[in-house]
Structure formats: structure tokens, C-alpha cells
A and B are shown apart, each in its own frame.
Chain A
Amino acid sequence: MKTLIIVKEKDYDWLRPIFPGIHPLLVPICNKPFIEFLIDFAILAGSDALRLVSDGPLSDVEEYCDNGIRWGIPISYGSFLSSDDMELIMEKNHRYCSGERILSMNGFLFIKYDKQHAYRELFAARPEGEILSCSKGSLSLTGTSGETTSCDETLPLSLLELDSLDVYYRLSMEILSFSESPYVIPGYSIEPYCHIGRNVVISKSAEIIKPVIIGNNVQIMAGSIIGPEAVIGSNVIIDRESTVKRSIVFENTYIGEHLEVQNRIAAGNILIEPESGISITMDDPHLLTGIKSSRSTERLIQSLVHRVLALLIITVQLVPFLLLWPILKIQGRWKKSINSYYTNEEGKTLLLTTTAIERKGAISLVAAALSLDRFSLLFSVLSGRLAIIGSGPIAANADKSAAFHEMESWYKAAVFSYAEAEEWPVSGSEKAIVERYFAVHGNPLLDIAMTIKAFLNLIHEIPAP
């Protein structure tokens, strides 16, 4: 048997703004990414291959699950269009599905199962058709198996629609409440209601009240009280005299001294009330904050390369700029404007002076060919506010803020854009394709080549007078 997991973006969209930066399929439930519960279940049901298909991005999930070697089951990935129906999705995976019995898990659903049951035999005896369904999805079997019998017995399973933060929170608390979990939970457990990860430092005066699940690399300082009903993610620091009760603390979170977290979800510097979904962003890093990983060496080299390139281009442009700028200014063809643009950092903007050269006459054409309109922006590269090559800066306004949220992972405000280098349309949704490509494949050497390419392409762009 093979498993096909079908997840539609619209079913998990509600989770994205709550936990930005975490793919909804990787949101941890009791310190275990959601997708792992589905994989575990597929294996328990007797699957020997698994495919995950979605109309949304899966790259983060693919990076995490890879080819499934960790679970001993080959995992493949696929995509479909959001308008596709179930029949078309199956056709798009025809090669994977043909001649095999397929267990389809359709929807953003949590399958409540018990690892003690022999699902393999139960599924093998099950005839083709829907096994379970709810308003947001279903679990079904297609294809027949040799062992099929007319079995009307209800399977020891149920589906839970993950459609709100409250459901997510209650599910986590429910899993905590089992003395012997029906799921495989990460961590070491020598007594019921308690799972503790690797490299956990607990101060002698700290109190741990079961049930609790604690991740890896956690520090619990003196006088802290953890539990009952607490899920502490990996790389978490709970500082002195703090209390965490009936709460979930996401990984990479610092809980400050004397802080009481009760019936809440703490993720980075965000504190969420699960029932209402209301969240507060803490500005004081001494209370609650995210633990950020340090900047990688490659990024530092990249930023250095960008600065050197900017300096070189400034040197090339300096003389023509000093000669042509006063003439264009007098002619009224040098048009400056100051606008606010999004930076690479979440929610931050910067003021930039941009220039437009009216392309009339030989002088303005020469100035445009030498990209003198970018001259002032090059100084922002030296100060580290812009990259030399990346995405064209996007003007900050309220209408674009929602759309910008989606771009945050790859947006890098720059003087030249990858779209200009690759001669893609520099506006509209298509330029995003090339920018996403280089956000992943970019490196300092490639940036040098692409900057030169963009610079030369701008020269070609100028129409002959």
C-alpha cells in the first residue's frame, strides 16, 4: 500500500500569520512536527511509500523530511493547482498510484490513532472506499487488496480538523494527558506523563510538575516551576523564578525572569491566548524573546562582496555623474523622489532617494546607459541598508503589507534586481520567480556575475536615439 497526503493551502492558511516562518505541516504538536504524526500513521497502516502533494509551497517540508530515509519509507512530493478536484489530483499522480492500493489522507487533519493497534491488518482487510470523513477532509482507500474481507468493523481512529488555534492547543494538552502516549513522542521517558529531551539542564531548585514534555537543549533556571501541562520546545531558556503552566513554549524562546505564563502559547517574542487567538508581541527582550541563530559566514562574505561591488561601481560612475548630473538637473530631466521602502527585516522600512532620468536627448541616454539613476542608491549598499543585487525595492504602503508578508523569505531590497540581470519582466508577479530562484541559489560569486549582467543589460535596454 502507498499513502497520498493531499493538503490544500486554504486549509492551513489560518496558521501562517500565527506562526510565521514555520510551515503549517511543521508546526510542532508536543514537540513533534505535525507531518511526523501523519508519516507515523502511514507506516502503522502498512504503507511502503508516501507522497505529499499540495497546491502550496512544500520546500520547507521537503527539507525537513527529505527522501524519508529517517523513517525508512520513501517520501516523494508533488503539486497540483488549487482549482484541481480529487480526480484530477489522482490523475496527476497516476504513475505513483497506478496498480497500487492507495490510502489518501485529504485535508489538514490530525488523525487520532493508537500505536498499539494493528492498523496494517485492519487496513488490509478493509474494502475500497471512504474510511472516515469530516467537513474539512477525509481518509479513504482506493484499489483492492488480496486480503480484503467484508469488514464493517469501525476502525479505532478519528479525525480532528485542525482549523483553529484553540483546537491545536487542546490537542496538545490532550496528548499530554495520556499516561502512556498513543503516539510516539520525542524525548526520554522513564515515568508516565513525562518526556525529557537531550541536554536539558534543570536547576536543583526548579520544580517540574507532570505532565510535561521538554525538548532538547533546554535550560530551566533556579526557582522556576514547569507544569502541570507544559510543553517546552527545544533551545528554550526559562529564566529564574518563572512559571509555565498549561502552556506551550515554542523552540528558540527565552522566558524572562519572574514571568508567569499560564494558558498561553509563547513563540519567540509573541504570546498568544489560544482560545481567542489574541496575541501580544513583547518588545522587552528581558521578558520574552526569540533566540536568533547567528549570522552565517557566507552572508557576511556576501555583504562584503556587495560593498566592494558598490564601491567599484561608484568609482566607475563618479566622473560621468559629476559631468552629466548638473546638465540633466538644469534641463529638468533628473527627477528625484523620496519614498519609504520595505527592508529585508520584517516590518521595517527605510527612506530612499530614487532618481528617474527622462530619456530625451543624447546626454540623458548616456546617463541612463551608465545607470547613473542608481548612483545615490549605491551609498546605501555601503551602509548595509541595501544589497547590490536582489529584489527591486518595494514601496511600503498599507495595500502591499499583506502581499509583502509572503515575500519576506526571499525579498532582499537592492540597487539592481535579478530580474534585470536575467531580462525577466521587472514588474509583476513573474519577477518573483527569478528572485525566489536566486534567494536559494545565490552566492557571492554568482552575485558578482549577476550584478555585471544587470549593469550591462541596462545599457542594452536604452533605445537607439
Chain B
Amino acid sequence: MIINEKVVNNITTINLWGTLDASTAPTLRNFKSDAQPASPIVINMADVDFLDSSGLGALVGFAKEKRGAGGDVLLACMNNKVRKVFEITQVYRLFAIYDDVEAATLNAEKKQTSL
């Protein structure tokens, strides 16, 4: 799992590459973002090719931590395989999911300015 972080228009976008499973979930769990704790983050899932319950746990934990600090996590560009995991576990109820990173970033920006 490769995690890459970039800031566009004051919004941090985290790009994930590879598989998010039991072996790689700790990487995301231990990832410390440079973003302000209270600012929203966009996670680009376009290159996540597999997600299991441990990976899901890491994502939920990451979002929980972020929300606890007053921020939020927006997800973007899930492939069908990953979206199906969100669907069957009903985790889609916990996240704002966009089909486009730009749209997610724009909304994160709106959220940030409204804070």
C-alpha cells in the first residue's frame, strides 16, 4: 500500500495505491497526515484494487479520528469492487462518496470555508 499526500486549494488529498487488507491496514492506521486536524480530507480510492474488513476498519478508524478532531473524510473514485464492499457492509452510510476527486475537493473546500 502506497500512501501519497498532496494539497490542492488548501485541501489535503490522500491517494491510496494497492491493496487495503489485514497486512496493509496498519500503514493507513498509523498514517499521520500533515493536514490540520479540523480540516476535511479527500481520500482518492481510484487505485485501491482490493479492500477487506481490516482495510475497512482502518478507513473507519481514520475517519473517526478525523471527525473526533472536528474534521471530515470524503471518499472519491471508488472502483466497483471496493464500492461493493461499502455496499454490503453499509459503510456508505458513514462517508460522503464522490465519483470524482475534483468534485470531492470542491465540496471539502466549501465545508472548510463554512467552518
Chain A residues engaging chain B, CB cutoff 8 angstroms: 55, 57-59, 62, 76-81, 84, 88, 91-96, 98, 418, 422-424, 430, 432-434, 436-441
Contact = CB atoms under 8 A, between A and B. Distances in A.
Nearest to A450: B53
B70 to A, nearest CB: 18
B43 to A, nearest CB: 15
Nearest to B51: A437
Contacts of A62: 84, 87
Given A92-B103, A96-B99, A438-B53, A81 B93 contact: yes
Nearest to A55: B93
B98 A79 contact: no
Interface stretch (B5-13, B30-38, B54-62): B54-62
Contacts of B106: 91
B99 A433 contact: no
A440 B88 contact: yes
Contacts of A81: 93, 96
B101 to A, nearest CB: 9
Nearest to A78: B99
Interface string B79-91: 0100111111111
B56 to A, nearest CB: 6
Interface of B: 52-54, 56-57, 60, 77, 80, 83-93, 96-100, 102-103, 106-107
A91 B98 contact: yes
A280 B103 CA distance: 50
A59 B97 contact: no
Q: What are the 3 closest A-B residue pairs judged by CB atoms, nearest first?
A: A94-B103, A79-B92, A95-B100
A389 to B, nearest CB: 13
Contact of B56 (A55, A78, A423, A433): A433
A451 to B, nearest CB: 15
Nearest to A440: B88
Contact of A95 (B53, B86, B87, B99): B99
B72 to A, nearest CB: 12
Given A92-B99, A95-B99, 17 more contacts: A59-B87, A79-B87, A79-B92, A88-B107, A91-B98, A91-B103, A91-B107, A92-B97, A92-B98, A93-B99, A94-B98, A94-B99, A95-B103, A98-B100, A422-B54, A433-B53, A436-B89
A433 B52 CA distance: 11
A432 B88 CA distance: 11
Contacts of B80: 76
Given A78-B97, A92-B103, A94-B99, A436 B57 contact: no
Contact of A437 (B53, B97, B102): B53
Given A59-B84, A77-B83, A81-B96, A433 B89 contact: yes
A422 B91 CA distance: 16
A436 B106 CA distance: 32
A60 to B, nearest CB: 10
B99 A422 contact: no
B87 A77 contact: yes
A80 to B, nearest CB: 8
Given A58-B87, A438-B53, A440-B88, A430 B99 contact: no
A418 B54 CA distance: 11
Contacts of B88: 59, 436-437, 439-440
Contacts of B54: 422
A91 B107 CA distance: 8
Contacts of B102: 94
Contacts of B52: 437, 441
Contacts of B86: 79
